[in-house]
Structure formats: C-alpha cells, structure tokens
C-alpha cells in the first residue's frame, strides 16, 4: 500500500481514516476533479471541521465517505475509506447500506428539503428502526417520541404525527439530528447543519449537537464555511481548496497562526470589531474551475507569496508543527509572517 | 400556506396586546421544554391539522363545481354501466322492423334505429362498453407506463435509454392507422383486443410523465437523506419517491380516460373497434350516419351520450390537475 505516511501509523484509534481519496465527475465540459487525494482521520469523540468555499470538494468528500455520491456522473477513482479499520469502498452495496444510518449517519443543510414532505416526522423517525432493526410499528413510534423529546422538541407526543412544514426551521433541524442519532451511530457527518438557520437558532442547534456528541462519544465531521461555528466546537480543522486539503491543524493553533496563505486569507476576511472602519480584506480572484485546476499549487494564481516553484511543483503536505500540516512551499514564511 | 410556518407555540403565547412576535422569541419558546403545551391549538383549529398535498387537493376539489358536476355524471355513468336495467327495462337486441327509423313515441323517448331497436335502451347499454374500455385501458396504460417509466427514471443508464427509444417508437405509430391494421385481423367480439391496443399505444405517454417526475423527485434532498440513513432502493422508490411523483401520472391518466373512450368510439365507427353484438355508441353512430338526413335522432342520441361522457372525464381530469398542481392555475 502506498500510504503517504503523513498520517503516521498513529495506532488503531482512528474511527474513520480516509486515505488519498479521489473523486471525479464527468460533465459536459470534461472531467471535473472534485476531490484530489484527500486524507483525514477522526477519532471517537473527536470533532473534525472541514472548512472550505463552495466547490472546494468538502461535501463531495463526505458523500463519498457515506457512499451516496450521485453516480453517474460522480465516481470514486482512488483511495481508501477505512471505518473501524475496514475499507468501505470494497464492501458490497448491501453491506454499505446497512452501515449507513446505523453506524454512520448524516445531517443535511436544509432540513425542510431533507425531510419527505408527504410523511409525518414520526413516520420518518420510526422508519429508521423499521429499516435497520425490524422493529414493530408501534414500538418504533414510541421510540420516535423518545427521540423527539431527547432533541428538545416540546410536546413531542402531540407533534409526532405532524408534517415537516408544520415545524420551524430550528425544530426541523432537531428532527434531522434525531434521525441521524436514532440508532446510536459512531460517526456523524453534518453538512453545514446550521447554514439555513437564523443566527439565534444556530447556536442552539450547534450546542445540542456538541452535547449529544460528548454524551455518546461519537466522531463528528462538521462541514462548514463558517469560521465562527468552527471555533467553538471543533478539535481539529482541515481547510480544503480545489479538492485538496491545504492545511490541517488543532483549532486554536490555526486561529492563532495559519500556516497556509489561503487560511490566512480566510481569517483576514472575517469582520473584526478591533478593525472597525478599515476596509475588509478579501482574497483576490475566484476559486479555479474543477475541470481546469492550475498546475503546481492550485492556489498560486491568488496567492500573494507565489514564486516560480508554485507554478510548477504541487506542494506536498509539510509537517508544520505538532499535529499540523500545510500544503505550501513557504509554510515557514507564512507562519513567521503572521507572527 | 404561510400560516403553517408560524410555530404553534407562537400562536398559543400571543398575549393579546403585543401582537408582534420576534423570530428569536418564538425560537426561545420552543427551547423551553415545558413551553407550548398542546393547548396551543384547540381541537379542530385549522393550524394544527396535518395538511398534505392530498388533503389540500381534496379540500380544493370539493369546492370546485366543475369537479362535483363531472364526478356526479361519472358516478351515474358507472352505475348504469354496471346495472343498465335500473333505468332501461327493454332489451337492446329486440328488433321490430315495422318500427324502423321511427321517431320518439310514448315508452320509446329516443325512437327506433334502422333495425327497429329501441335507441334509448341501446344508448343506456352502450355505456358499459365505453366505460369498460376507458377504465381498463387507462388502468393498464397507467400501471404499465408508470412501472416502466418509474424504473427507468430511478435507475437510469442503458435501460432508461432503451425504454425511452421504445416509447418513441410506440409514440410514432399513427393511432387510427395502427388500429385499423392491428384490430382488423382480430376476430374476437369482446372488448379486450381494443383495450389491449389502447394500452399498447397509451403507455408511452404515461411512462414519459412518470419517468420525468421520478427523475425530479429522485433529486430531492430527502431522497438523498433517506439513502444516507440506510434506506434501500425498494424503500426509496416506494415510500419516498412514488408518493411524491404520482400526482402528474394521475392527472394524465384521468384526462387520457376521456380520450380513450373517444378513441374506442372512433375505432368502432370505422369498423375496427368493437364488433356486434356488443352494444357500442361508436357502432350505432356508424350505422346511423348513413341516415343522418332522414332519421337524425338515431345518430344524435348515442353521439350526445358519447360527448357528455368524454367531456365529463376530461373536465374531471382538468379539475384534478388544478388541485394537484396549483402552479398551473
């Protein structure tokens, strides 16, 4: 096996170990390289935040891990997804289906569209038990009510027969969380779980998710583009750009000093109180098209530090301190420059 | 629709004077576990009642006079198709040549046809053939079409391509010409060859609609979500996609029913559809058309019955479409 070794052989503690994952989409404009060799690990009880702009491949990576890529046109072209040490990509379709929902579950961005409009929420919750455990209708309904109470839905017993559109956005997202938690999975992937919610509700939903995660020592992958959400709950951050991980670091280290110019650009583009009145920084240019990713470092056309080497040699992930790595030829300079 | 977005709790707690409820406030009420007991909605209050697409549609339909009228006509037609004796005591085959082509007279309101048979009795008995052909052909075409179209739309790939091209081929067959060619070689006098022929030509229309709406429904997030939570293909298709994709199929099928009845009459008129001794409006119209100048009543009554029947089904289809697809209004 050609493991790149940067994740080390750090023992069998990883719950999920994604190695060098590659995903392509066949489109009319050619092959879109959505994910180009992504590796990350999640331990039980750990929260990994995957950060990136739209189109950086963060959601596609998650879909490939879950095994719900739209294929065609999407296709996993390489890598491994080790879950409890077993490579999910080699499992038969039926075996994978049994793992989905029971051992690993997913929370979607917009709960209104992620819940079936013609089924009551109780029926959809009960379905989890019926599909995976063959529970009787009556018992499944009872457990659905328990779950709704668990995620803080008032008057759960009266509302179990209500339809998704009768709940508020925050309540719907709680129901999504309840569905994901129903069977006590070891890993939860939350794809922008709070993006569609009001700011006041965002914090409540994040708190609930973090609380349940602690209680059940689940691994959590939090996909987001919101740096504010990440800071409070994540242990580790992986920053993605053009289908690659450009930097991984413990959350506080990354906020203190980023080791990649892209991460620095992201952090500088957050409005800050102590910079009031000054012009807000923006990263110039646009993310590259996935059908035509620039050679060398994909970020070089937008990078203030770019040199000739960046245009030709794709940077490997350099070890840039304890528990952190950066895919930049000039990670040292970036670290120093930020200090 | 907008009123359903107001959380129940908010309504229960609106304490008179201060009507305005901030969004954040409504959310914080939800947060309190003890807040908003079921007293929020008194029994029968419109807010708390679960309203699905179907109950909304039924709610609309009951208030639509077009629907009520056409449904009444159709119920009446179905009843006399099953029990024609209820309103026609005569024998549709009994011929009294002495009375051939005579007009209306006591006991025989619609007069007599060329062979001296009672036109009223024949019109009543003719409903059976029309309704049988219409209902059976529609059911067959809808089942076959939605099965094939649904599977093609869900699985995609080469099967989808193959089926779509096959549907195109059947779509391209001219209905009348095809009917004349296929049905003229059939000797059976039952309705089944006609039903079979209409199903054969009718399924592609349904399968296109079913395929399209399954492809649309498949892309919904909740299908992806159900897959992510471990639902298999069968469950996805039957429980998550079918209920959200069936409405357009129902609409097409209801409208098609009327046109299938008209098609049966057309084929029978041309001598390729139903054959005597089956009593059919199409056959009677065909026979009577020769005498349209001398005895128009022989043509007008079965033609009128046919028109009313077709109109009733098409109007019903329109009303159902309006109710199930409010965007088209």
Q: What is the pLDDT of residues B289-326, one digit of tens each?
A: 888 888 888 888 888 988 998 899 888 888 888 887 65
Q: Mean pLDDT across chain B, nearest whole number?
A: 78
Residues of B in contact with A108 (CB under 8 A): 221, 224-225, 228
Average pLDDT over residues A26-47: 88
* CA–CA separation, B285 and B272 (whole Å): 14
pLDDT tens digits along B224-271: 888 888 888 888 888 888 888 888 888 888 888 888 888 888 888 888
Instruction: Report whether pLDDT(B209) > 50.
Output: yes
A165 contact B CB<8A? yes
Q: Which two tokens stand for residue A286?
A: 């646009």
Per-residue pLDDT reduced to its tens digit, A321-338:
888 899 888 888 888 875
Is the pTM above the cut of 0.80? no
Mind giving me the DSSP string for A126-178? HHHHHHHH---HHHHHHHHHHHHHHTT-TTHHHHTT--GGGS-HHHHHHHHHH
B6 CA to chain A: closest CA distance, Å? Answer: 7
Å between A99 CA and nearest CA of chain B: 7
Evaluate if residue B16 carries a pLDDT over 50.
no
Q: Which of A272-281, B137-146, B225-234 has the lowest mean pLDDT?
A: A272-281
| 8 Å CB contact between B191 and B134 | no
Q: Which CATH architecture has domain B54-328?
A: Orthogonal Bundle (1.10)
Q: pLDDT tens, A157-193?
A: 888 888 888 888 888 888 888 888 888 889 999 988 8
Please report where in the chains the tokens 């609106």 appear, as a residue. Answer: B14
Nearest to A113 among B53, B222, B230 (CB): B222
Q: Do A154 and B9 touch (CB under 8 A)?
A: yes
Residue contact A72–B220, C-beta within 8 A: no
What are the angstrom distances between the C-alpha of B9 and each of A339, B2, B18?
51, 16, 15
The answer on pLDDT for B97 being more than 60 is yes
Q: Which residue has the higher pLDDT, A11 or A240?
A: A240
ipTM of the complex: 0.74
Residues β-bridged to residue A247: A239, A326
- pLDDT of the residue at B119: 83
Neighboring chain B residues of A127 at a CB cutoff of 8 Å: 226, 231, 235, 239
Average pLDDT over residues A7-12: 44
- The DSSP 8-state label assigned to residue A280 in this structure reads P
CB contact under 8 A, A201 and B27: yes
Every domain of chain B and the residues it spans = 2-49, 54-328
Select from A227, A164, A240, A225 the least CA-distant residue to A195: A225
Give the model's pLDDT for residue B145.
92
Give mean pLDDT, residues A7-35.
78
Looking at the complex, does the CB of residue A54 fall below 8 Å from at least one CB of chain B?
Answer: no
The yes-or-no verdict on residue B39 having pLDDT over 50 is no
Residue-wise pLDDT for A195-205, tens only, equals 878 888 888 88
- Please, which residues have CB within 8 angstroms of residue A120's CB and are 6 or more apart in sequence? A160, A161, A162, A163, B50
Q: How far apart are the first and last CA of chain A?
A: 39
pLDDT score, position B51: 58
pLDDT at A265: 87
């Amino acid at each position: 096996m050609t493991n790149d070794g940067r994740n080390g052989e750090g023992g069998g503690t990883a719950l999920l170990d994604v190695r060098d994952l590659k995903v392509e989409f066949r489109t009319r404009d050619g092959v879109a390289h959505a994910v180009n060799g992504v590796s990350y690990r999640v331990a039980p009880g750990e929260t990994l935040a995957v950060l990136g702009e739209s189109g950086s491949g963060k959601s596609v990576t998650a879909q490939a891990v879950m095994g719900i890529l739209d294929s065609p046109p999407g296709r996993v072209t390489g890598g491994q997804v080790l879950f409890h040490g077993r490579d999910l990509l080699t499992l038969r379709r039926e075996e994978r289906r049994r793992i989905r929902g029971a051992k690993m579950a997913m929370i979607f961005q917009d709960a209104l569209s992620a819940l079936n409009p013609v089924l009551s929420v109780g029926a959809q919750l009960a379905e989890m038990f019926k599909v995976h455990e063959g529970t009787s209708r009556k018992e499944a309904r009872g457990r659905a009510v328990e779950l709704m109470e668990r995620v803080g839905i008032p008057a759960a017993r009266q509302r179990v027969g209500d339809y998704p559109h009768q709940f508020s956005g925050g309540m719907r997202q709680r129901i999504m969380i309840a569905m994901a938690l129903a069977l006590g999975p070891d890993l939860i992937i939350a794809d922008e779980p709070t993006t569609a919610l009001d700011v006041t509700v965002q914090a409540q939903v994040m708190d609930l998710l973090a609380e349940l995660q602690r209680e059940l020592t689940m691994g959590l992958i939090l996909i987001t583009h919101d740096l504010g959400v990440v800071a409070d709950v994540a242990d580790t951050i992986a920053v993605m750009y053009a289908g690659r991980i450009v930097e991984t670091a413990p959350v506080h280290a990354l906020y203190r000093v980023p080791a990649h110019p892209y991460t620095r650009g992201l952090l500088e583009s957050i409005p800050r109180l102590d910079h009031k009145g000054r012009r807000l920084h923006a990263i110039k240019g646009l993310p590259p098209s996935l059908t035509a990713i620039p050679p060398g470092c994909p970020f070089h056309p937008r990078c203030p530090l770019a040199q000739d080497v960046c245009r030709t040699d794709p940077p490997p992930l350099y070890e840039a301190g304890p528990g952190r790595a950066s895919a930049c030829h000039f990670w040292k300079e970036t670290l120093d420059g930020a200090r | 629709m907008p009123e359903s977005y107001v959380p129940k709790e908010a309504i229960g707690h609106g304490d008179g004077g201060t009507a305005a409820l901030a969004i954040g406030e409504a959310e914080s009420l939800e947060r309190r576990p003890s807040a908003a007991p079921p007293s929020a909605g008194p029994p029968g209050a419109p807010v708390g009642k679960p309203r699905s697409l179907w109950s909304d549609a039924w709610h609309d339909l009951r208030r639509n006079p077009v629907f009520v009228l056409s449904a009444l006509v159709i119920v009446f037609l179905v009843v006399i198709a099953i029990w024609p004796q209820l309103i026609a005591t005569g024998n549709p085959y009994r011929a009294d040549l002495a009375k051939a082509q005579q007009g209306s007279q006591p006991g025989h309101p619609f007069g007599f046809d060329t062979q001296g048979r009672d036109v009223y009795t024949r019109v009543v008995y003719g409903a059976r053939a029309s309704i049988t052909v219409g209902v059976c052909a529609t059911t067959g075409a809808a089942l076959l079409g939605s099965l094939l179209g649904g599977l093609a739309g869900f699985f995609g790939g080469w099967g989808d391509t193959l089926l779509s091209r096959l549907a195109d081929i059947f779509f391209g067959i001219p209905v009348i010409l095809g009917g004349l060619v296929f049905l003229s070689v059939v000797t059976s006098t039952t309705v089944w060859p006609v039903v079979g022929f209409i199903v054969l030509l009718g399924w592609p229309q349904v399968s296109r609609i079913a395929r399209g709406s399954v492809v649309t429904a498949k892309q919904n997030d909740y299908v992806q979500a159900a897959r992510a939570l471990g639902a298999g293909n069968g469950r996805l298709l039957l429980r998550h996609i079918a209920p959200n994709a069936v409405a357009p199929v129902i609409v097409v099928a209801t409208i098609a029913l009327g046109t299938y009845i008209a098609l049966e009459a057309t084929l029978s008129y041309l001598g390729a559809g139903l054959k005597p001794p089956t009593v059919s409006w199409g056959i009677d119209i065909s026979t009577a058309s020769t005498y349209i100048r001398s005895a128009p009543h022989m043509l007008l009554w079965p033609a009128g019955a046919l028109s009313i029947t077709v109109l009733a089904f098409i109007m019903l289809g329109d009303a159902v479409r309006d109710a199930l697809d409010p965007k088209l209004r």
